[in-house]
Amino acid sequence: DRVVFDKTGTLTRGTFSVTAVRPAQPELSGQALLQLAAAAERFSDHPVSQSLRRAAGQLPETLVTTDARELAGHGVTAQVGGRAVAAGNAKLMAALGLTAPAVDEIGTVVHVAADGAYLGYIVISDEPKSGAREAIARLRADGVRVVMLTGDRKRTADAVAEELGEGAPGKYLAFVGDGINDAPVLARADLGTAMGGIGSDAAIEAADIVLMDDDPRKLSLAMRISRKTMRLVWQNIVFALAVKAVCLVLGALGIANMWVAIFADVGVMVLCVLNAARALDTKRL
């Protein structure tokens, strides 16, 4: 009755794009700030780093990157063209003794500093998947409560949650993710679901269900198929036991004959198989 979604790559496309470049110094151009950040992120495989490199294009030969370090949950530091450059979130700036300005723009914010001076910030945005809102609407229509988890700023998370229409937690937990960092949660959840197309091997291995086309709407379909299947299972169990109990009583009273016994055995089996075949019909789910 509760589904928790990882945001990036699960509810969103996972393809970031630079939407704003804000230099803090008048003599520094937006392109120069972007290239400096991209050079610092040169060796990172994080989606944010990849988007910075795409936006910056071909970097000048003078921006040689050495001593690059990736700080989990903060950003990166590196020597770029002989300058000590840092690119990351406000926590990284605070760790360097710098004050990052409050940013009202929607998206992931990458602050940039060099040689102990704050240079500005870059805003990167991700778009929700086309079927994400419908997926959440279907789950809520089925009585499932939906939660989104993300490492982004609260303002960005609130904007995505408002667009997708998400709610509050319940009792039994299903988790949906795609990254290697999601694997432990996928393993511990009551039901772990991984994105098969873009998901990491660790996430796919740890999950109970894999959505091969990465469409979050398929989670609702899987749950409906499961619920229908369980209804059919219980119908067959109750029907088979009820018929056998009646035949057992009739046999004890001397009323039932061999044909009744055959029906209680083979006949009930055939009827249960035919009833179970209804699980193949998923068009109306």
Strands 108-114, 83-88: parallel, antiparallel or unpaired by DSSP? antiparallel
CB atoms within 10 A of CB 217: 20
CB atoms within 10 A of CB 115: 10
From 1, 6, 126, 178, active-site residue: 6
The helix-helix angle for 132-141 and 217-252 (nearest 10°) equals 30
- Does residue 190 have an active-site annotation? no
CA gap 186, 34 in Å, rounded: 36
Q: What is the dihedral of CA 183, 186, 187, 189, to 10 degrees?
A: 150
What is the arrangement of strands in the sheet containing 117-125, beginning at the earlier edge strand? 17-23, 117-125, 108-114, 83-88, 75-80, 65-71
CA gap 23, 40 in Å, rounded: 16
Q: Which residues are catalytic?
A: 6
